[in-house]
Copies of this chain bind each other. A is one copy, B any other.
Amino acid sequence: MAKQTRQRILDAALTMFNAQGEPNVTTNHIADELEISPGNLYYHFRNKDDIIEQLFARYEERMDGALAAPQGRLPGLEDIWLQLHLVFECIWDYRFLYRDLVEILSRNRRLRLRFARILKRADEQAHTVMRGLSQAGVMRASSDELAATATNVLVIATFWLNYASARGDKDEHAAIRDGIVQVMMLMAPFLRDAERVHLNSLTRAYLD
């Protein structure tokens, strides 16, 4: 029963953070939403940052899964597409974290280190994928170009939803789809002509 309440608090907090932005939701708002007393909430969590840390642990597990490479073979374009979907869906489900990223990380050194670790892991995965494409002869880029592109992939993925919001995009599912295309377009110019044409037609079909 206690465990169930704890779970309900986390679920409600995630929903409210995502909908309203973490800075605009207090522990009292969460307790009100669940029709429990603030005292009951504080029995389960020390404060709002404690709730955020628990949600972060869920997010971290999910993102680590999304960043796992396909085993035992070189990744192809379709693998990258699928992996980007998993990553963007994870970002979407925990979008409160990305909306106020610097502010949330500034309050908690542990989260700061853990988020930096995830970025590092994502960077390694982007390198692995692009090196795979290079080994398969599908992509051609110098190591400087590959490193710069991996970094740009991370920045676009991390902040795409914020950009779409700042630009005034209304359709949030379209925003995810557009973000995936923007990331693919970072790699496109380094692809062999046949794959570049293939990617362009995949992209057009996907956006229509």
Binding site for B on A (CB under 8 A): 21, 23, 99-103, 105-106, 112-113, 115-116, 119, 141-142, 144-145, 148-149, 151-152, 154-156, 158-160, 162-163, 165-168, 181-182, 185-186, 188-190, 200, 203
Measured in the bound complex, the distance between the Cα atoms of B155 and A167 in whole Å is 10
Contact partner, A145, options B119, B145, B159, B185, Cβ 8 Å? B185
Chain B residues with CB under 8 A of A162 = 101-102, 159
Structural contact, A99 and B105, CB atoms closer than 8 A: no
Mostly helix, strand, loop or mixed at chain A's interface? Answer: helix
Can you report 18 residue pairs joining A to B where beta carbons are below 8 Å apart? A23-B23, A23-B103, A99-B103, A101-B166, A103-B103, A105-B166, A112-B168, A113-B168, A115-B166, A144-B200, A145-B185, A148-B185, A152-B152, A154-B163, A155-B163, A155-B182, A156-B156, A158-B159
User: How many angstroms between the C-alpha atoms of A115 and B112 in the bound complex?
Assistant: 28
Does B102 lie within 8 Å of A167, measured CB to CB?
A: no
Q: Are A186 and B102 in contact (CB under 8 A)?
A: no
Distance in angstroms from A148 CB to nearest chain B CB is: 4
Inter-chain contact A103/B148, CB cutoff 8 Å: no
Residues in chain B near residue A159, CB distance under 8 A: 155, 158-159, 162-163
- Min C-beta distance of A122 to chain B, whole Å: 11
Chain B, Cβ-Cβ closest to A141: B189
CB-CB < 8 A to A113: which residues of B?
A: 168
Complex CA gap A182/B151 in Å reads 8
